[in-house]
Chain A
Amino acid sequence: MAYSNKVLDHYNHPRNVGSMDKSDPNVGTGMVGAPECGDVMKLQVKVNPETGVIEDAKFKTFGCGSAIASSSLATEWLRGRTVDEALAIKNTDIVNELSLPPVKIHCSVLAEDAIKAAINDYKAKSGVTAKETATA
């Protein structure tokens, strides 16, 4: 199968690879997929609690080249967006940007799921933190 140049670029030069401290209240972590299915994505966002802007995003992915490219692209797009803007990212945006063929659409779906999981994790955590602060 031929890969688009953008997929190859992300594969060869993945952006924002790494991990952030899961226990940091400003960090949201999303992990989606399963090893038996052949792809697992871990996506993390670090949010400025004052502004709601994502200041940093990191990923690690076990999966095919398109899965790696989708999550790498997602981290690029997440940086500088607000949490709500991040939730507006659709898998079809990723498909279009990377010119993914039909058999690779699930990679983009997984990336969208990872974004949502990371944001939801952040929201849940910050919600809990706020409540705790209120009761204290």
Chain B
Amino acid sequence: MKLPIYMDNHATTPVDPRVFEAMRPYLTNVFGNSASRNHSFGWEAEEATEKARKQVASLIGATSKEIVFTSGATESNNLALKGVAEMYAEKGNHIITAATEHKAILDTCKRLEKHGVRVTYLAVQQNGLVDLNQLRDAITDKTILISIMHANNEIGVLQPVREIGKIAKERGVLFHTDGTQAAGKIPVNVLEDNIDMMSISAHKMYGPKGVGALYVRRRNPRVQLTAQMDGGGHERGMRSGTLNIPGIVGLGEACGIAQAGMAEESKRMEYMRDKLKDRLLASLDEVYINGTMEHRLPNNLNVSFAYVEGESLLMGINDIAVSSGSACTSATLEPSYVLKALGAGDDLAHSSIRFGLGRFNSEEEVDYVAGKVIDVVKKLRELSPLYEMFKDGVDLSKVQWTAH
């Protein structure tokens, strides 16, 4: 076993060696521009992108022509939201999303609000899921789009996309889902789930960084988007710019590998994740799991170790790469807005750790991580005045704190 251990696979994943091998020729000899229609260099490049398009489409139950390649999920999210808002402006100006979405959705919505779009940010329940009745009630005759993520990047919970898609369809509203964390990890079918648009990223599923895709439904209904990048009219006019052929080949290969091994891999992830969870819960008191375990990515565990601050915990487990929702670890010095949205209190957000298991983690690593985390939490609780007060039976919610 090699240290440090990488267990932050929601942030990014390493490129699978098979993906790299598939990309290699397109970084060297095969360098053509897929838009070159009259020589073999261009044809070869086009052939490669079309193969990749099929692989991506196959992973999510779409057809090739419904895949638009982009630079990643942030761009896909921007294109979906801004493209729909602009194209359907005459039909309405209302978008519904959720408070726990990724910033690529939330900040895009904020931008759209400056341009006269009205946005409803649905609260989530304590388990992290949106309330379908609240969603139904939020729809008005001005609503043009619902954008709710499939799997959350912090707490891994899976939103009821199939039900959301059904509601959207019944009400004649488009449904976009940010599938960044879900695609390649759990089965997704855009037809069965009534998804009209879906954002995908390569580097979250063992592909390269800087490439992603947006699924855009072609039939029933045919979704139209106003391009946000003007130029040569690539990607059926929806996204201009010479195609990133090596990246696209990598994305396609990553999708192919994910699809072929998904059943087995997700079982392995779930086994290791549950082992980690069970060991932590068996050895430590006052450990809280953030978000429902029932509807969750198999590779995600997000837990709060009460009375221990997240950054100090990361410092103690410095040979393990994980993330915390603590304010001290964020650029904004604010604790995780996702955890705050669960209503559990800021103190538990400060104490949270996100474990993101991946294809290249081993059971031995899980054992090491569990042991180390348990040791450091125990050590830090010895230092914690809050844990001492808790043990003395003090109700911390009744203490007069000097907030600063």
Contacts and interface: CB of A to CB of B under 8 A. Distances in A.
Interface of A: 3, 11, 14, 17, 19, 31-42, 60-65, 67-68, 103, 106, 109-110, 113
Nearest to A107: B328
A101 to B, nearest CB: 12
Contacts of A113: 402, 404
Contact of A17 (B383, B386, B401, B404): B383
A31 B388 CA distance: 13
Nearest to A3: B315
Interface string B378-404: 000011111110000000100001111
B63 interface: no
Interface in B355-394: 382-388
B404 A62 contact: no
Given A17-B383, A32-B404, A35-B386, A65 B346 contact: no
A39 B380 CA distance: 13
A65 B315 CA distance: 7
A106 B385 contact: no
Interface of B: 307-309, 311-312, 315-316, 326-328, 333, 335, 345-347, 350, 382-388, 396, 401-404
Contact of B383 (A31, A68, A103, A109): A68
B312 A68 contact: yes
Contacts of A106: 404
Contacts of B315: 3, 11, 64-65
A61 B335 CA distance: 19
A41 B335 contact: no
A109 B404 CA distance: 10
A109 B326 CA distance: 19
Contacts of A65: 311-312, 315
A133 B269 CA distance: 69
Nearest to A17: B383
B402 to A, nearest CB: 5
Contact of B388 (A19, A34, A37, A41): A19
B328 to A, nearest CB: 4
Report which residue of B308, B315, B345, B346 has the largest number of chain A beta carbons within 10 angstroms of its beta carbon. Answer: B315
B307 A62 contact: yes
14 contacts: A11-B312, A31-B385, A33-B404, A35-B346, A35-B386, A35-B396, A36-B345, A36-B347, A37-B327, A38-B328, A62-B383, A64-B326, A67-B312, A68-B383
